[in-house]
Amino acid sequence: MAGIIGVTLLMSVFSTGISSLLGIPLGIFIGKNRFPGRGGLLALLNTLMALPPVLAGLIVFMLFRSVGPFGSLHLMFSVPVMVIAQVLLIAPVTAGLTAAAVEAKAPAILETAGGLGVSRPGQLLLLGRECAGQLVSVTLAGFGRSIAEVGAVSLVGGNIQYKTRVMTTAILLEANKGDFRKALAVGMVLMTLALLVNVPAYFLREKLK
């Protein structure tokens, strides 16, 4: 169980972190600016937010399989390729939620800051500070999708014991074997981990409000 928890946390932390680094800046840019094609970009993000995990896994599988364009990297059935599949799922969610949060506050904040003569970098810092609580929620949403996802990681990771088996794929395996008690026990541990992450994040979000 300890190994499964370790792989789960490793995958979730890296996929959430990378998705936040990619999605939050993109979401801030889209949320605070008006430019040609913005509506189409938002529509694309909203569509990708509904990307089925199995489809994301299939895309990554085709890219990284032995005869795929990135097959020479030999990443199939490893934690890194699971992280890549999850970033494909989570980054659009992070960007879309960030854009919505920033769009609601950006006009008033930027107008006031501009009137006071605050520099452009200062305006961005002020906007980030005002949206900090929402950005914590965005990151938590990404982590929640990561830790609970099963389709993509099962397809590209292979659910290999001691290597790529995570808690969701372990639940699926035990349920398929008919050991529902063990599957439920793993599920309870998974929910406990999620709670341990969300409780301190809740207090951080409240402090940032």
For the chain (209 residues), the mean pLDDT of every run of 10, in chain order, is 89 95 92 87 91 93 93 93 96 93 79 71 76 88 91 91 91 92 93 89 77
Q: Which helix (H) or strand (E) holds 122?
A: helix 120-130
Torsion of CA 107, 109, 112, 118, to 10 degrees: -120
For CA atoms 6, 61, 14, 49, the dihedral sign is negative
CATH number at residue 137: 1.10.3720.10
pLDDT given for residue 73 in this prediction: 92
Q: What domain range includes position 195?
A: 2-208
* Number of domains the chain contains: 1
Q: Is the pTM of this model over 0.85?
A: yes
Whole-number Cα distances in Å, 34 to 18, 28, 29: 26, 12, 9
Residues in CB range of 192: below 8 A, 6 or more apart: none
- Are 139 and 205 spatial neighbours (Cβ–Cβ below 8 Å)? no
Residue in the structure block whose two tokens are 């409240």: 206
Structure confidence by residue, pLDDT tens digits, 47-58: 999 999 999 999
Backbone angles phi, psi at 182, to 5 degrees: -70, -40
